[in-house]
Chains A and B, each alone.
Chain A
Amino acid sequence: MTKIAKVLLIDDEDDICSIVKACLTALAGWNILVEHSGEDAVPLAAREKPDVILVDVMLPGIDGIATFQRLRDQPATAQIPVIFMTAKVQKHELSRYLSLGAAGVICKPFDPMTLPQQIRARLDAAAGALS
């Protein structure tokens, strides 16, 4: 099982950040860092080196896909697993995100009570696919 202690959440919706932070802290005991834009999140990720990054696709400024590419382009964050969180998932979009190299996709709306399991499942599946 993938070890998780620190998670970076990138989402411009304050209400989503609040519920994700509350649930992941309480249910899993993870330390949750929050950023509202891709521009600010990329340098934060390089400094903090979280175990996993959750990124919304429809971010203002640089979107989630471009944020993902910037994370992949800098050595300090290139290996950190990234999970897209989005309310916009059609089959071809899901395939596209995975083909970019994302560890997985979590659809909004999500069940906050099972969010830690959903994150673990995607990381374990991605790790299994690599081994």
Chain B
Amino acid sequence: MNLSGTPTEMDLSGVLTRLRLELLARLPHRLGELHRALHRAQRHPAHVHHAHKLAHNLQGTVGSYGFPELAEILIELERMLDPTRARSDDDWTAIRQQFERAQQVTEQLRQE
């Protein structure tokens, strides 16, 4: 940090490492929020907008933080939650499986 308390290029890598660790620590909570939104959306299709928005935000964030594998899984999940189309029971099974992949990769990242 310089005298004004803002990060300089020299210590940016330390700041980014800290931000990445903080995001990893919060990811289970973020995924829990998404899991609850998926449950609500399956019972009440009007709620799919919220689940779609959560997946959309999360994929943009994890990708920008340098977690491309997790971002790809969430991009696909966002696509599966497209609010403009209806979903069958099979679609919801695929959505749950995709969500479980996101959980597994998150757990791997947290253990690295």
Which A residues have a C-beta under 8 Å from some C-beta of B? 12-13, 15-16, 18-19, 22-23, 25-27, 58, 86-88, 108-112
Contacts and interface: CB of A to CB of B under 8 A. Distances in A.
8 contacts: A12-B57, A15-B26, A16-B60, A16-B61, A19-B64, A26-B12, A27-B9, A109-B71
A64 B106 CA distance: 30
A27 B12 contact: yes
Contacts of A112: 16, 64
Contacts of A26: 6-9, 11-12, 15
Contact of A58 (B12, B26, B56, B68): B56
B60 A109 contact: yes
Nearest to A32: B6
Contacts, number: 62
Contacts of A12: 57
Contact of A15 (B7, B8, B59, B65): B65
Interface residues of B, number: 24
A101 B53 CA distance: 25
Q: Is the interface of B mostly helix, strand, loop or mixed?
A: helix
A15 B29 CA distance: 14
B5 to A, nearest CB: 10
Q: Closest 8 interchain pairs by CB? A: A109-B63, A108-B60, A87-B60, A26-B12, A26-B7, A109-B64, A15-B61, A25-B6
A22 B15 contact: yes
Given A58-B56, A88-B56, A22 B64 contact: no
A25 to B, nearest CB: 5
A20 B9 CA distance: 13
B41 interface: no
B23 interface: yes
A111 B65 CA distance: 8
Contacts of A18: 19
A87 B65 contact: no
A87 B74 CA distance: 11
